[in-house]
C-alpha cells in the first residue's frame, strides 16, 4: 500500500479524509427472521461503491451486493433467512478510486417468531338427513380443526348456544324440515357449516285416531288400562296414589312423598370439559342441596384444602396431567361427596399413580347399603376387585358405586395404573347384625336331559341353585368351565367318552357342589384322572387345607350282586398362625354309593350329604374324619365315583371362609363286586364244603357237638373275611388341596 492510500485509510478510521469516500452503519430494523440494515456514504463527488459486511455473532462472514453512488447518500439492504432470537454483526463499506473505507461494527438481535394459528374449519352432518314422517329423529354430529370455541344456531331440542369443538346431539322427534348451523372460531377467524334434515309429510290413516286423514302422526284418546290406578279406564295417563318406598323414611309404605326426620345433603360437581389439551384449562362447577358448608380436596391451582361455598365455579388453570377435583358438603345430619376428573390429552403420564377409596359409611346395618367413592391422580385406568353388586372389573379413574344391600362384611379394592407405576387401595364395609343363619347356605342341583348317549351324541345339562351369589363350572367339555349364572342350561356338544360335569355355587356363608355323569355308550373303559372342582375364593385366604383319600376295603355282602365297601378319609390341617373357629366339614358322597358309618364324629346325614361340626382347629394342628360307604347293587363295571369336601370356618376377623377338595376315580371291575364262588369248577371249594359237611355229621351228636360246630363255622367265616379284606384292599386315589 502506498503512502497516500495508507493516509486515506487512516482518515477513514477517524472520520475519513477529504478524498476517500466514507461509510457508516446507522441502524438495523430486525424481525424474527430478517433485518433491514441502514448506512450512509460520503462520495466526495467521486463514483463510489457501497455495501454491507455482516455475520452471525461477532464474526463478519458475508457481503451484500454493491450499490453505486456519485453523491452523498443513505443506503439499505434487506437480510433474509435469519435465525430467530440470534445476534448478528454488520458494518458499512465503501470504495472509490482513492481507496476503501470501513465503517464501525454494529449488532442487532432478531426476535422470536410467533406461531400464527391456522384458520379454523368445521364440518357438520346428520346420521339420516332424510326422514320419513314415522322415523322420529336422528343424530347431528360435528367436528372442527384449529377451533377454540363453537356456537350453534337454528335446530331443535336446545341446539342453539355454545357447543364443544366436536360432539353429537339428538334432534329429538322432528315433525318438519329443520336446519342445524354451527360456527367455530379462533383468534385468526371463523368457519361455519350447516346440515338440513328433511322430513316428509305424514298423514294419519287410522280411522280410530282422533286426527284421522289429517297431516301428522296419529293421535289417540289415551285411557288408563291399569286396574290398580286411581283413574282406571278413564281418558288420560294412569295416575296412582303415591306411596313412600324408602324404609328409612318416617312414613314408609304410606301414601304421599317420603318424609325424613334428618335430611342429608347432596352435592354434584362437573367440569365444562372433562377432556382438554395439554397445558389448557377448564371450569369446575358444583351445586348442593341441604348443605351448610362445603370443603374441597385434590385438584390444582389452590383448589384443595379450602372452604367452598355451597355452589360455585373454579378455574383449573393450565393442566399438564389428569387431575381429580373432590368436594364434600355437610349439614347436621351428615355429609356427601362427589368428584370429577379432568383428563389431559397428549400428556406424558409417567408420574407416580395415587388412588384413594372410601365409603360414605363403613359401618351399616344388616341389609342396608352405602356408596363407595374413589379418586386417583396420574392414572390412565383403574381395575376393581372384591366387593359386591358387580363391583369387580374396569373402572374410571374416579367415581362412585352403590354397594347394594349388604348382609355381611365386604371389602372393595381398586388398583390404578399409568405407563410407569400403579397404586392400590381398599375399604371394608362392616355390617352389624349379620348372621349366617339369616342368609342361609347355598344349594345347587345339576342334572341332564339324558344320562346315556351314543358315541358322538349330545345332550343338555341344566342347573338351579338357592341362596347363591355366583356359580363356577369345571370338568365337562371345553366350553363348560368358567363362571355361570345361578341357574341355566348348557349343550354338551358331541361326546366321545363318558364325561362328568361339575358346578359349585357360593355366597358369603359357604358353597355347594353338584355333578352329573353322562355315559357315552360304546366307548372303551378308561381311568378318569382326579378332578378338582374350583370354588371362587373369598376375599381372605383360607386358614385350612384339605387332603382326600378313598380305599376299596373289601366286601360285606352275602352274594355276588352286592357292592364293595369303600373307606373315604378327609384330613384337615391348620397351617396358619390363628385358630380356625366354627369349623364345619361338608361331604358330598357319590350317588352310586350308600352311607354305612362315620368316625370319629357323628355326622348329620341328609341323603348323600354329610356334615361334621368340628368346632375349633388350633394353629399347626390337624385332624381327620372317615366315612364308610358301599357301592350300590348293580353298579356298572369301571364306573366313576366322585367325592367332594368343603371346610367352612371363621377367621379371627369374623369372616366366614371356605376351602374345598374333590377326587374322582374309577373302581376296577375286579373289585366292584364280591367274589363269586363257583362250586361247579372249584375242587377246593367242594372239598371244603364236603369237609365241613362230614365234620358236621360228627359234631352234631349231642348238645356239646352242636356248640362246637357253631364255633367252628364262626371261626371259618372270620378267617375267610380276613383273607378277602387283605386280598382286595386297594387305594384308588389321593388328592391334597392347599
The enclosing H or E element of 706 equals helix 703-728
Both 160 and 188 in a single domain? Answer: yes
Both 15 and 66 in a single domain? Answer: yes
Residue 73 has pLDDT above 50, yes or no: yes
Mark which of 53, 87, 109 sits at the end of a domain: 109
Confidence bin at 90 (pLDDT 50/70/90): very high
Task: Look at residue 14 in the predicted model and tell me its pLDDT.
Answer: 26
**For residues 113 and 83, is the Cβ–Cβ distance under 8 A?**
no
Residue 16 has pLDDT above 90, yes or no: no
Domain membership flag for residue 32: yes
d(CA 654, CA 624): 24
The enclosing H or E element of 685 equals helix 683-699
**For residues 628 and 565, is the Cβ–Cβ distance under 8 A?**
yes
Both 557 and 657 in a single domain? Answer: yes
Structural domains counted in the chain: 4
**For residues 585 and 646, is the Cβ–Cβ distance under 8 A?**
yes
Q: Indicate yes or no: pTM above 0.85.
A: no
**For residues 82 and 110, is the Cβ–Cβ distance under 8 A?**
yes
Both 557 and 679 in a single domain? Answer: yes
Task: Look at residue 260 in the predicted model and tell me its pLDDT.
Answer: 66
Mark which of 109, 134, 154 sits at the end of a domain: 109
Residue 422: φ, ψ to 5°: -150, 160
Both 133 and 100 in a single domain? Answer: no
- pLDDT tens digits, residue range 292-322? 889 998 888 888 866 899 999 999 999 888 8
Mark which of 199, 214, 248 sits at the end of a domain: 199
Dump the DSSP string for 405-462: -BSS-EEEEEEEE-SS-EEEEEEEEEEET--HHHH---EEEEEES-SEEETTB--EEE
The enclosing H or E element of 501 equals strand 499-506
Instruction: Answer positive or negative: Cα dihedral of 288, 294, 295, 301.
Output: positive
Domain membership flag for residue 464: no
Mean pLDDT score, 602-619: 82
Cell of 356: 384413594
Most confident of 26-30, 88-92, 214-218, 464-468: 88-92
Domain membership flag for residue 278: no
Domain membership flag for residue 66: yes
Q: 215 or 480, which is more confident?
A: 480
DSSP summary character for residue 280? B
Cell of 133: 314422517
Question: Residue 33 is part of a domain; what is its CATH number?
Answer: 2.60.40.10
Task: Look at residue 635 in the predicted model and tell me its pLDDT.
Answer: 61
d(CA 738, CA 734): 13
- pLDDT tens digits, residue range 440-457? 667 788 888 888 888 888
Task: Look at residue 4 in the predicted model and tell me its pLDDT.
Answer: 26
Between strands 621-631 and 565-574, the pairing is antiparallel
What order do you get walking across the sheet with 139-145 strand by strand?
121-126, 139-145, 167-170
Note down the domain range covering 95: 3-109
**For residues 160 and 192, is the Cβ–Cβ distance under 8 A?**
no
Residue 33's region, left for phi above 0, alpha for psi from -120 to 50, else beta, is: alpha
Domain membership flag for residue 8: yes
Q: Quick check: helix, strand or coil at residue 14? A: helix
Dump the DSSP string for 150-202: EEEEE-SSS-SEEE-SSEEEE--S-SS-EEEEEEEE-SS-EEEEEEEEEE---
Round the average pLDDT of the chain to a whole number and report it: 78
Cell of 93: 463499506
Domain membership flag for residue 425: no
Q: Quick count: other Cβ atoms within 10 Å of Cβ 559?
A: 9
Both 178 and 144 in a single domain? Answer: yes
Both 140 and 36 in a single domain? Answer: no
Q: Quick check: helix, strand or coil at residue 575? A: coil
Both 707 and 648 in a single domain? Answer: no
Domain membership flag for residue 708: yes
Residue 6: φ, ψ to 5°: -60, -45
Domain membership flag for residue 167: yes
Q: Residues of the chain with pLDDT > 90: what percent?
A: 25
Nearest to 585 by CA among 502, 645, 639: 645
Both 597 and 672 in a single domain? Answer: yes
Amino acid at each position: 500500500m502506498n503512502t497516500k492510500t495508507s493516509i486515506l485509510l487512516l482518515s477513514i478510521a477517524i472520520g475519513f479524509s477529504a478524498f476517500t469516500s466514507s461509510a457508516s452503519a446507522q441502524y438495523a430494523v430486525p424481525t424474527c427472521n430478517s433485518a433491514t440494515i441502514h448506512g450512509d456514504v460520503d462520495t466526495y463527488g467521486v463514483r463510489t461503491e457501497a455495501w454491507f459486511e455482516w455475520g452471525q455473532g461477532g464474526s463478519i462472514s458475508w457481503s451484500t451486493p454493491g450499490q453505486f453512488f456519485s453523491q452523498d447518500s443513505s443506503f439499505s439492504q434487506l437480510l433474509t433467512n435469519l435465525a430467530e432470537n440470534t445476534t448478528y454483526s454488520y458494518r458499512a463499506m465503501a470504495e472509490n478510486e482513492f481507496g476503501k473505507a470501513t465503517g464501525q461494527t454494529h449488532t442487532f438481535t432478531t426476535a422470536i417468531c410467533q406461531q400464527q394459528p391456522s384458520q379454523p374449519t368445521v364440518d357438520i352432518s346428520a346420521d339420516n338427513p332424510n326422514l320419513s314422517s314415522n322415523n322420529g329423529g336422528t343424530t347431528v354430529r360435528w367436528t372442527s380443526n384449529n377451533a377454540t370455541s363453537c356456537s350453534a344456531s337454528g335446530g331443535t331440542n336446545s341446539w342453539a348456544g355454545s357447543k364443544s369443538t366436536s360432539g353429537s346431539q339428538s334432534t329429538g322427534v322432528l315433525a318438519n324440515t329443520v336446519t342445524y348451523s354451527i360456527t367455530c372460531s379462533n383468534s385468526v377467524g371463523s368457519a361455519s357449516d350447516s346440515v338440513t334434515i328433511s322430513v316428509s309429510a305424514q298423514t294419519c290413516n287410522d280411522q280410530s285416531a282422533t286426527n284421522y286423514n289429517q297431516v301428522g302422526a296419529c293421535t289417540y284418546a289415551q285411557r288408563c288400562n291399569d286396574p290398580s290406578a286411581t283413574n282406571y279406564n278413564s281418558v288420560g295417563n294412569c295416575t296412582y296414589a303415591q306411596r313412600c318406598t324408602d324404609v328409612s323414611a318416617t312414613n314408609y309404605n304410606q301414601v304421599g312423598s317420603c318424609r325424613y326426620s334428618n335430611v342429608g345433603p347432596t352435592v354434584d360437581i362437573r367440569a365444562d370439559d372433562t377432556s382438554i389439551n395439554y397445558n389448557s384449562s377448564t371450569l369446575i362447577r358444583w351445586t348442593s342441596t341441604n348443605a351448610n358448608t362445603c370443603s374441597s380436596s385434590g385438584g390444582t391451582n389452590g383448589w384443595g384444602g379450602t372452604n367452598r361455598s355451597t355452589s360455585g365455579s373454579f378455574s383449573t388453570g393450565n393442566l399438564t396431567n389428569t387431575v381429580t377435583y373432590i368436594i364434600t358438603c355437610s349439614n347436621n345430619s351428615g355429609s356427601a361427596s362427589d368428584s370429577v376428573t379432568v383428563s389431559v390429552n397428549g400428556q406424558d403420564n409417567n408420574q407416580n399413580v395415587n388412588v384413594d377409596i372410601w365409603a360414605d359409611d363403613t359401618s351399616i346395618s344388616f341389609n342396608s347399603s352405602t356408596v363407595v367413592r374413589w379418586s386417583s391422580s396420574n392414572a390412565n385406568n383403574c381395575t376393581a376387585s372384591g366387593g359386591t353388586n358387580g363391583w369387580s372389573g374396569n373402572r374410571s379413574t374416579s367415581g362412585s358405586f352403590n354397594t347394594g344391600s349388604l348382609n355381611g362384611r365386604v371389602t372393595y379394592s381398586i388398583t390404578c395404573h399409568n405407563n410407569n407405576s400403579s397404586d392400590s387401595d381398599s375399604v371394608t364395609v362392616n355390617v352389624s347384625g349379620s348372621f349366617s343363619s339369616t342368609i342361609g347356605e347355598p344349594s345347587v342341583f345339576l342334572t341332564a336331559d339324558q344320562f346315556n348317549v351314543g358315541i358322538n351324541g349330545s345332550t343338555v345339562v341344566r342347573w338351579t341353585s338357592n341362596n347363591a351369589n355366583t356359580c363356577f363350572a369345571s370338568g365337562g367339555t371345553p366350553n363348560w368351565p368358567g363362571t355361570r349364572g345361578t341357574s341355566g342350561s348348557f349343550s354338551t356338544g358331541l361326546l366321545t367318552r363318558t364325561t362328568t360335569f361339575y358346578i359349585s355355587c357360593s355366597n358369603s356363608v359357604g358353597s355347594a357342589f353338584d355333578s352329573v355323569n353322562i355315559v357315552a355308550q360304546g366307548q372303551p373303559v378308561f381311568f378318569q384322572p382326579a378332578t378338582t372342582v374350583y370354588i371362587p375364593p373369598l376375599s381372605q385366604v383360607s386358614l385350612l387345607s384339605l387332603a382326600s383319600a378313598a380305599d376299596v376295603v373289601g366286601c360285606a355282602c352275602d352274594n355276588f350282586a352286592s357292592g364293595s365297601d369303600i373307606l373315604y378319609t378327609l384330613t384337615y390341617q391348620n397351617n396358619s398362625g390363628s385358630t380356625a373357629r366354627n369349623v364345619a366339614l361338608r361331604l358330598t358322597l357319590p350317588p352310586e354309593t350308600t352311607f354305612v358309618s362315620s368316625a370319629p364324629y357323628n355326622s348329620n346325614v341328609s341323603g348323600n350329604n354329610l356334615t361334621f361340626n368340628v368346632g375349633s382347629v388350633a394353629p399347626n394342628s390337624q385332624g381327620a374324619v372317615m366315612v364308610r360307604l358301599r357301592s350300590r347293587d348293580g353298579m356298572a363295571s369301571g364306573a366313576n365315583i366322585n367325592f367332594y369336601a368343603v371346610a367352612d370356618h371363621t377367621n379371627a376377623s369374623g369372616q366366614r371362609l371356605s376351602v374345598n377338595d374333590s377326587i374322582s376315580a374309577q373302581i376296577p371291575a375286579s373289585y366292584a363286586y364280591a367274589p363269586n364262588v363257583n362250586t361247579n369248577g372249584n375242587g377246593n371249594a367242594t372239598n371244603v364244603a364236603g369237609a365241613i359237611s362230614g365234620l358236621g355229621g360228627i359234631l352234631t351228636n349231642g348238645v356239646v357237638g352242636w356248640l362246637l360246630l357253631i364255633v367252628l363255622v364262626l371261626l371259618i367265616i372270620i378267617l375267610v373275611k380276613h383273607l378277602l379284606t387283605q386280598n382286595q384292599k386297594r387305594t384308588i386315589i389321593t388328592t391334597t388341596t392347599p
